[in-house]
Chains A and B, each alone.
Chain A
Amino acid sequence: MQSFLTKRAISSGVSLLLLIVAVFFLSRLTGDPTDLYLPVDASAEARENFRELHGLNDPLIVQFGHYVADLVRLDFGESIRRARPALEVVIEAFVWTFQLAVITMAIVSAAAVSLGALAAFHVGGAFDRIATFFSLIGASAPDFWIAIVAIVVFAVGFGWVPTSGTGTVWHWILPIGVLFIRPFGLILQVVRGSMISALGSAYVKTARAKGVTPKKTIFVHALRNAMLPVITVIGDQAAALLNGAVIVETIFGFPGVGKLMIDSILQRDFSVVLAAIMVTALAIFLMNILIDLAYAALDPRIRY
């Protein structure tokens, strides 16, 4: 277990390091923040002061050195835009994204696993059709379009829910509903496929032959074994959500980390971008560890 964790941490750390280096230099190629933050007629002196204040005068490589040196002391730099520590800004946004991801994935997993198992039990039946329909829509419909149509129908038309923002429980319904569709269809397909092959296996036949009830056969014998590939997909989808649902967050004015990242790139707020990448990468790393532990819990043959 110990060596497994170390190995994982090292390989994730290396790719994170590559990502940070790439983003650090690429993002600085997008331009000078001075032009963005100071008025067009700002004096040369004011520009010089601004550059000096944010350390933009040094050569890129020196800036990178400073950044890494600060990073070692767990100092993630300042947000130029908000004049606050970048880490603080990012964590504030990440909490929103985290809640959204956890709630969405909990609903999606529960719905997809139960419906997928039922779909596999009656191939061609009603649940199977629902499964196919949702996975096709999920794979085909752009989420921004679904979000817009949902706003027009449910927020403007019926007036059931607010159009955007946060505050009440009602504000969560549309974002979760829109985020639900794609992972739901995808996971449902995987559950279905995996269950169909599990139901055809010898141990399920044995269970049936010895008179186990159909319900127990599906949910205890077949489902547990069929869950391994499903957990992989759930992990992938959860990782995508933790990275920030940029489109959905933008449309619904949700103050999550995806929107923060895009905005910060457009505002050349480099330390926030980098801090956001590191925070989400850490979250995804921890989640992958959890997924691996779930593997071991489901399949006693897997040991780390």
Chain B
Amino acid sequence: MTETQTEAVPKTKEPGKFITILRLLWADKVATTAAIFVLIVIGCAILGPILLDGVATKANLRGRNAPPFDLSKGFLMILGGDQLGRPLLARIIVASGNTIAVATGAVVASMIVGSSLGLIAGYSRGRLGQVIPRLADVIMSFPSLLLAVIVLYMLAPSVGNIVLVLAITRIPIYLRTTRAEVLEIRERMFVQAAQVMGASTGRIIFRHIMPMILPTLLTIATLDFAFVMLAESSLSFLGIGIQPPEITWGLMVAQGRPYLTSAWWLSFWPGLAIILTTLSLNLLSNWMRVALDPTQRWRLEIGGKKNG
């Protein structure tokens, strides 16, 4: 229903839709917390490297492996110092930049490529419709970590190459989902009606089919964002991901490993940052699954009224 309204008067209905989403979010307090946390992380990722880069790379040998919760060295040292006395809090904030950038790049790239291929595979009745799904099967049959190691060893592990490797391994997810949805939707009455009325293929795909599958894709993308973050962290942890002096959370965990017995906080905090972010994304994705599904949405709408 909202679809048709926004189509008719896009300008005035836009805030209304936004407020509806906020209300649905408010109905689920856990999801609200998760959303706020994700927003904070994104804020850190964008602003952190600009504001704190100087602080985060300045070594201070007097603060080597300084213990956490000690405010005498200033607020930034609240989580302790790393092996060169750099404040961990500042480093975690700066590292969020690379972590989020890699995950965003990989998710956006795989979603665009995967869903376009899925749209083509699902909509075209010709040979393309049969060849493209095989492509997904081939990618899926490769052990992804092994492939990532080989490619990164071959191409030198830069941010761009890591995004490329992660994106390729995630393409099948979007491809398969999109294809399955398109196969079902293209048989529906409104698509047939559009065809009869002479709409072009492009118009049918982008105006009629795309809005129907976008919610599913967004839900998967949120979930996948968490997965890609974990994959990037694992690669960085193994030493074939992002290379120093660049930092990501996974790399910070790896760098703290030699000091595990004497200074646990070096590895603990960045790992906690990974967990909290992926946890929030998972919770947010659970909420989206309900909120974006018209047959499930009433659960949140009822809850919303009850809460105020």
Contacts and interface: CB of A to CB of B under 8 A. Distances in A.
B63 to A, nearest CB: 21
A135 to B, nearest CB: 9
A152 B260 contact: yes
Interface string B197-239: 0000000000000000000000000000010001001100110
A247 interface: yes
- In which size bucket is the chain A interface? 20 to 34
Contacts of B98: none
Contacts, number: 92
Contact of B267 (A19, A145, A243, A262): A145
A141 B270 CA distance: 12
A44 B138 CA distance: 42
Contacts of A156: 260-261
A250 interface: yes
B64 interface: no
A30 B282 contact: no
B92 interface: no
Contacts of B257: 148
Contacts of B302: none
Nearest to A23: B150
Contacts of A148: 253, 257, 260, 267, 271
B274 A265 contact: no
Interface string B121-141: 000000000000000011001
A247 B238 contact: yes
A140 interface: yes
A142 B153 contact: no
Given A149-B271, A151-B260, A246-B145, A140 B226 contact: yes
Given A26-B151, A142-B234, A261 B264 contact: no
B150 A142 contact: no
Contact of A18 (B138, B150, B275, B283): B138
B250 interface: yes
Contacts of A265: 146, 149-150, 153
A136 interface: yes
A27 B154 CA distance: 8
Contacts of B278: 139-142
Interface of A: 15, 18-19, 22-23, 26-27, 29-30, 136-137, 139-145, 148-149, 151-152, 156, 243, 246-247, 250, 261-262, 265-266, 277, 280
Interface of B: 137-138, 141-143, 145-146, 149-151, 153-154, 226, 230, 233-234, 237-238, 250, 253-254, 257, 260-261, 264, 267-268, 271, 274-275, 278-279, 282-283
